[in-house]
């Protein structure tokens, strides 16, 4: 039973956190500019935000490039929790200043059909969520947003 629990915890960590898990793994030059991230709620990422996400999601984004992409931010499992880019980065800055790990989140990259159904989002970042959602569920939540 103990081995099964460890396997489930390990599996959840590798599936759910396909990103950098420690600020020490993020280039210092990016962290020096963390204060400039999420300064507005524009759905399109600025250059620094794109570089940051390309770095922290390097393990899970495959060939997806965040440059000039429309990204949705979702949090919570209930489906009613809304978030913005500013919310995400405010939490990220808090985590950094207090020496906590970066936000744990899951990247959902959409195909053309999902992009259209979601309201034009290229991808979504879901964080502080207790359950792993399917892309279809994420798209559905964005349609209601």
pLDDT tens profile 67-99: 999 999 998 766 566 789 999 999 999 999 999
Q: What pLDDT does 138 receive?
A: 94
Q: What is the mean pLDDT of the chain?
A: 84
Question: CA nearest 64: which of 27, 115, 118, 6?
Answer: 115
**Domain ranges, residue 70:** 2-144
CA 108 to chain centre: 8
Inform me whether the pLDDT recorded for 117 exceeds 70. Answer: yes
- The neighbouring-strand residues paired with 74 are 82, 126
Q: What percent of the chain has pLDDT over 90?
A: 61
Task: Please tell me the total count of domains within the chain.
Answer: 1
Query: What pLDDT, on a 0 to 100 scale, did the predictor assign at position 17?
Result: 46
């Amino acid at each position: 039973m103990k081995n099964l629990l460890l396997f489930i915890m390990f599996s959840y960590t590798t599936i759910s956190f396909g990103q950098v898990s420690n600020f020490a793994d993020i280039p210092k030059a990016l962290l020096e500019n963390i204060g400039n991230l999420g300064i507005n709620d524009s759905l399109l990422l600025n250059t620094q935000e794109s570089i940051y996400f390309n770095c922290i999601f390097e393990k899970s984004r495959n060939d997806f490039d965040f440059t000039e992409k429309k990204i949705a931010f979702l949090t919570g499992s209930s489906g009613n929790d809304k978030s913005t880019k500013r919310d995400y980065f405010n939490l990220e800055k808090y985590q950094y200043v207090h020496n906590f790990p970066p936000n744990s989140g899951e990247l959902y990259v959409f195909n053309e059909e999902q992009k259209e159904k979601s309201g034009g989002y290229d991808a979504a970042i879901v964080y502080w969520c207790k359950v792993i959602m399917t892309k279809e569920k994420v798209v559905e939540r964005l349609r209601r947003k």
